Amino acid sequence: MNDRERRVLRRTLAGLLLSASLGFAGCDGSPTESVGGPAPDEGGAARTTASPWSMTSIPALAGDAGLDVDDVNDAGWVVGRSYSSGTRALLWTSSHGSIHLGGGLGSVANAVSNGTPALVAGSVQDAAYVAHPARWTISQDGSAAVTQVVLDDVGSAKGINDQGDLVGFSGTDAVVWPVAGGPTVVAPPAGSDFTSGIAQDINNAGHVVLVFSTDSLDRGFLRLPSGSLVEFSPEPGDVHTYARHVTDVHTDGSVLVAGTTRKSESEFRAVRWKVDATSGAILATRVMTGNGSAGSMSEAGDLGGSIQKQQFNPKPTIWTDATTYTMPIPKGKISGSVRAISPNGRFAVGWASGMSGRTSLRWAR
């Protein structure tokens, strides 16, 4: 990971700390609702519902010291990176355990598709330690039969759809790498001061979520298949927004986008935007309860991230329209986060940490 990627991801992933939702109307005039917060108890504190989720620890590749998990699909297959002296792209399934996808040291797996066969997006390093976007095709049973395609461009793929279209960044540019045709650089809005961009996710219709940045400002956008950009303005009193995940087009012609509205380094609120998939009109903005952030979402709109109840101790959290779940973590762990939710909402992945170190987890329900 280069310095530029660290900077952008630090801003983007910093949204795992949020301020309480205030239920303000959205800056674009769309309706805003506070959701995910159960009725308060007699003392006035918000209750959360006991979690229906079970957890499984994900092991690193043999000989490695640890791993980070980044995504999960409807089959419960997990992708991430195992690490020791360097990173190695990893696939984990309940049938085959942890498998090295290939690419040598410096390889990472960032996202997994939901089609058949499953496709994985990430990057590999060449002999000069330069990263290149990569796509892996996984055998239907999730075994080690893997086909690897490395693109000529410099950069990394952060998201993938079921067709195999990749999105990510190259240098300071947000880029789409379609299966057919050459790469497309997604330029920031004309007249803006943004100096860098990173594309985070792409759906099967070609909608792309991305973040453009300056040294002092981050802003989430949705790129429509037409090429038009939809800007997600921060909630009143906030400064930044981040867009991290987009659903497929729903039967009502809308897509849902998961992201964050941010006021300061320690004040964030998780957001779910509903957008007309054709016109780009923002139909509704829903602000989640809790001092946390969300970076992933199921097709039904459940958001995953963390709530910061105490300084430096975020709790892995899933918000649904009905309630907020604090996810189970192993004994001795005191903090954690949900990194991704499967499209069907049955699986989630993330991490938990404590004095004994950090553990990567898959939750199931």
pLDDT tens, position by position, 331-360: 999 999 999 999 999 999 999 999 989 999
pLDDT tens, position by position, 198-207: 999 999 999 9
Residue 295 has pLDDT above 50, yes or no: yes
Residue 362 has pLDDT above 90, yes or no: yes
Question: Can you give the pLDDT at residue 280?
Answer: 98
pLDDT tens, position by position, 26-41: 333 333 333 333 322 2
Residue written as token pair 């043999």: 62
Homologous superfamily in CATH for domain 3-41+51-364: YVTN repeat-like/Quinoprotein amine dehydrogenase (2.130.10.10)
Q: How far apart are CA 134 and CA 219, in angstroms?
A: 27
Question: Can you give the pLDDT at residue 49?
Answer: 60
In 171-291, DSSP assigns E strands to 173-177, 184-186, 196-202, 208-213, 218-223, 229-232, 240-246, 254-264, 267-276, 282-288
Question: Can you give the pLDDT at residue 193?
Answer: 96
Question: Can you give the pLDDT at residue 51?
Answer: 76
Q: How far apart are CA 101 and CA 78, in angstroms?
A: 12
pLDDT band at 2 (very low <50, low <70, confident <90, very high): very low
Q: How far apart are CA 119 and CA 111, in angstroms?
A: 8
pTM above 0.95, yes or no: no
Residue 47 has pLDDT above 50, yes or no: no
Question: Can you give the pLDDT at residue 6?
Answer: 38
pLDDT band at 128 (very low <50, low <70, confident <90, very high): very high
Average pLDDT in the chain: 86
Q: Of 292, 231, 230, 237, which is closest to residue 260 (Cα–Cα)?
A: 292
Give the whole-number percent of the chain exceeding pLDDT 90.
74
pLDDT band at 229 (very low <50, low <70, confident <90, very high): very high
pLDDT tens, position by position, 130-154: 999 999 999 887 765 678 889 999 9
Question: Can you give the pLDDT at residue 102?
Answer: 87
pLDDT band at 10 (very low <50, low <70, confident <90, very high): very low
**CA diameter of the chain:** 62
Residue 308 has pLDDT above 90, yes or no: no
pLDDT band at 13 (very low <50, low <70, confident <90, very high): very low
- Say which residues have a Cβ less than 8 Å from residue 130's Cβ, sequence separation at least 6: 154
Q: Is 247 left (phi over 0), alpha (psi -120 to 50) or beta?
A: beta
Judge whether 177 and 161 are in contact, CB under 8 Å.
Answer: no
pLDDT band at 48 (very low <50, low <70, confident <90, very high): low
pLDDT tens, position by position, 68-123: 999 999 999 999 999 998 999 999 999 999 999 988 899 999 999 999 999 999 99
Residue 313 has pLDDT above 90, yes or no: no
